[in-house]
A and B are shown apart, each in its own frame.
Chain A
Amino acid sequence: MKGLVKSLRIARQLLWMNRWLWLLLMLWPWGMAAMLLAGGLHPAPEDVEAALEQQSIYGLALVAFTGGALLGNEQRSRRIVLVLSRAVSRREYLGALWLASFLPLVLYVLDLALTGPMLGVSALMRSQTLGALLLLSLMTASLAVLASLTLPGVVAGFVSLVVLSVPLLLPPGWQMAQTRLLQVLLSGPATDHVRIVFGAGLLETIVLSAAIFEAAVRLFERRDLRLKSE
């Protein structure tokens, strides 16, 4: 618990450093909604739903590229020295990076959930798309943090998105709950076995995310910090 509190403290500092960027992203769904409503445009429901799916993919990309870039940024700026010279373990530090890439997504999802009804997005569409987005973001954050240990920021973000999409390529007999979640995000709500999709999706996401995060911790504990010498 103490470790989580430390991770949250560090994540708060990391988020505060980029507060204007986050604020802009939080305002983005509201701006889109305002433009559509104030402009007197009456988009068709399927267009609005396509826009929601598109914005959800932006959300995933946001998590991937943030998670992929944070470690590199902190090492380049040497702020990591300030944190890891204190009683902070590398696990707690990676936890902070994970939280700093995932927490903005929660607010983004909340924004989309609030602006959706204003644009006439159905409750079914909202709950399933945003639910899938939240679960897939948990995975994306872990993948991005792991990738950032060995790859530069943008590449790490890109690779984590590619790896996240791998379940879509699995043959029918081998598909995972992640495959269904990706399909919900990309092609619209599931109409059958919704509870199974999201129940199994939640379980699978938690297990896989934890395993990937654990792998990242083990790797980070065996690596030197890459600090630019002065």
Chain B
Amino acid sequence: MPALVLDHVSKHFGKAQALNDVSFAVEAGEIVGLVGPNGAGKTTAMQIAVGFLLPSSGGGWLMGRRFGDAKARRVLGFVPDAPVFFAGNAFDALRFAARLNDVTPTGEAVERVLTRVGLTEWKRDVRRFSRGMQQRLALAQALVHSPRMLILDEPASALDPQGVLDVRALLKELRAEGAAILLSSHQLSEVALVSDRIAFLHEGRLLRYGRLDELAGSTEQVEVVLRSFTPDAEFVARWGEPNGAGAWRIPSKRTRDFLEDAWTRGAELMSATPVRGDLTSLFLEWTGSGARQ
């Protein structure tokens, strides 16, 4: 069974629908990137999985147990979007977190985890840490009990570029060790670099779910380059201006219409290439923002 399963989960707050029939799964040894614009339902989905929120309908399993079962969280590491801590130093914070997961770590084990996340300041009260240090500490808390499932909500949002690289390397290590990881981030290039699959949420619905290379092939656009052709006003009105490279991006379904229109005006076809988008351009296309730009 996958480490995490969302099965037709819907959630509404009063009349507002935050999630609408969302289903996806995260397998062991896999990173699933959960992306979408603000308010798409990413945090809601994660909070349902951790047990903070109850689904309005549908349900799911975390490590084979129903959402909300505290025993399942023994092997869960969770990093919230805005970590907060009780008073104490980093050692105290990690020991407290581990003990709530029925683990009593040795001093060496705590030190090892802190080093692994790049946290070298251990003595100060953690509430006085910078946001970046708090985020590293939250990661350390998520790892201190050697979890098999990680749910990370914007784990690198406050980190400097070196910190982002460190987190990327860490996630790859954890995946290699067999952990299942659900990762939400607005840093789409980072998500694309580490994720095996992408779950794209928009207005509470799961619009796309699959491997990035499969999704990238589904942009359904073709880039067409013409030769010996100066478009007239009617052509531009219908198909738009060419981009800087003298090419038009058109929906693949309309390729034939475009080419016939161009041929009747004496154009020669140089090339017609399916467009494979990066995650950012896919994001803009799926949310409809691309059309407005």
Contact = CB atoms under 8 A, between A and B. Distances in A.
Contacts of A88: 70, 73, 100
A196 interface: no
A4 B68 CA distance: 19
B102 A85 contact: no
A88 B78 CA distance: 13
Interface string B64-81: 000010110110101011
Chain A facing B: main interface SS: helix
A123 B78 CA distance: 54
Q: Please give me the 7 A-B residue pairs with the lowest Cβ-Cβ distance, nearest first.
A: A86-B100, A85-B78, A89-B70, A87-B74, A230-B82, A225-B52, A13-B86
Contact of A83 (B81, B82, B88, B100): B100
A82 to B, nearest CB: 6
Contact of A81 (B52, B73, B88): B52
A218 interface: no
A224 B54 contact: yes
Interface of A: 2, 6, 9-10, 13, 16-17, 77-79, 81-90, 92, 221-225, 227, 229-230
Interface stretch (B20-28, B43-51, B244-252): B43-51
A85 B86 contact: no
A192 to B, nearest CB: 48
B87 interface: yes
A16 B89 CA distance: 13
B84 interface: yes
B135 to A, nearest CB: 13
B247 to A, nearest CB: 42
B122 interface: no
14 contacts: A9-B99, A10-B100, A13-B96, A78-B82, A79-B84, A82-B83, A82-B84, A82-B86, A82-B97, A88-B70, A89-B70, A223-B54, A227-B52, A229-B43
Contacts of B53: 224-225
A85 B152 CA distance: 12
Given A13-B96, A229-B43, A85 B85 contact: no
A224 B56 CA distance: 10
B73 A224 contact: no
B231 to A, nearest CB: 48
A78 B70 CA distance: 18
Contacts of A79: 84-86
Interface string B96-122: 110111100000000000000000000
The listed residue with most B CB atoms (<10 A of its CB), out of A10, A86, A223, A229, is A86
B87 A17 contact: yes
A16 B88 CA distance: 10
Contacts of B76: 85
A103 to B, nearest CB: 17
A109 B97 CA distance: 32
A226 B86 CA distance: 19
Q: Which of A10, A17, A229 has the most CB of B within 10 A?
A: A229
Given A87-B73, A87-B74, A2 B84 contact: no
Contacts of B141: 82
Nearest to A3: B70
A77 B85 CA distance: 9
B84 A81 contact: yes
